[in-house]
Amino acid sequence: MSAAIDVRQARTPAARYRHSLWLLTARDLKVRYSTSFLGYFWSILDPLVMAGIYWFVFTVIFQRGVGHEPYIVFLISALLPWTWFNGSISDATRAFTREAKLIRSTKIPRTIWVARLVLSKGIEFLASIPVIAVFAIISEFTATPAKLQWGALLFPLAIIMQAVLTLGVGLIVAPLVVFFRDLERAVKLALRFLFYASPIVYGIADLHKHPSLEFWAAFNPLSGIFSLYRAAFFPQELRWFDVGVSAVLCLVVLGIGILVFRRTIHAVLKEI
């Protein structure tokens, strides 16, 4: 026992942070799926249902004028990362209110309570990636198969950028909701607006018809991130200007999030 204690004490602060983060993330995933019959499939069921709805509406009813073929691959390649972002931010609004007693009784860095949400949802996102591969394989039997492009090499960059952005937004939202409870509903409305303001059911290439919208859309950090994901199958969606703007905005949002979090966390602990 003493040897184990010595090992723990010998860990660097960064190592202890990673260890605590992983323990809490693993706990979240176990609690989420231990009593679930479908388990892992719940992480992909929601985006699949949404993709099916949008595929039907835009291809069958409105004879789709946006996106690229195969449209189902085009949709899912943005819907899955959107599910990661949307789920993380939605949960971040309850990061401190849901487990207030546990947060007050532990002395681990408070940012972990936000970071573990981003990580757990990110793991679910990574676990759902095979769905894209399945539909890409199925599309081989259609008139316009989805061919894997060199842009697949940019996938890790997209994941890193999205993780930075999501953590930054979460660090802003999580403490402020404690003081302004109406902010939780406001965040839900903002996420609903952001869904349609982001190139998910449509693509960046579709904005060429609207030059003014195309310019301002670049300042939505999700635009550049989603273009990186889609570059794996749709290289025409990759626009480096959007990616560059997104990278800068991701770092800015993370910086603001850290600043807001540090200035409010002591008051948050007193409030909860």
**Would residue 31 count as lying in a domain?**
no
Report the residue count for the chain: 272
Identify the domain containing residue 113 by its residue range.
38-271
Residues 6+ apart with CB under 8 A from 235: 149, 150, 151
Closest CA to 89 of 174, 160, 185: 174
- Tell me the pLDDT of the chain (272 aa) as tens digits: 434 434 344 468 788 888 888 888 888 888 777 666 566 677 677 777 888 888 787 777 766 666 788 888 999 999 999 999 999 999 999 988 887 777 887 778 889 999 999 999 999 899 888 888 888 888 877 767 888 889 899 999 999 999 999 999 999 999 999 998 889 999 999 999 999 999 998 888 787 777 778 788 889 999 999 999 999 999 999 999 999 999 999 999 999 999 999 999 888 888 87
**Would residue 9 count as lying in a domain?**
no
**Would residue 263 count as lying in a domain?**
yes
Whether the full predicted model's pTM is greater than 0.85, yes or no, is: yes
**Would residue 2 count as lying in a domain?**
no
Instruction: Find the largest Cα–Cα distance for the chain.
Output: 69
**Would residue 5 count as lying in a domain?**
no
Residue 12: Cβ within 10 Å count: 8
**Would residue 116 count as lying in a domain?**
yes
**Would residue 26 count as lying in a domain?**
no
**Would residue 82 count as lying in a domain?**
yes
For residues 195 and 84, what is the distance between their CA atoms, to the nearest angstrom? Answer: 12
Cα-flanking dihedrals φ and ψ of residue 114, to 5°? -95, -45
Structurally, the chain folds into a number of domains equal to: 1
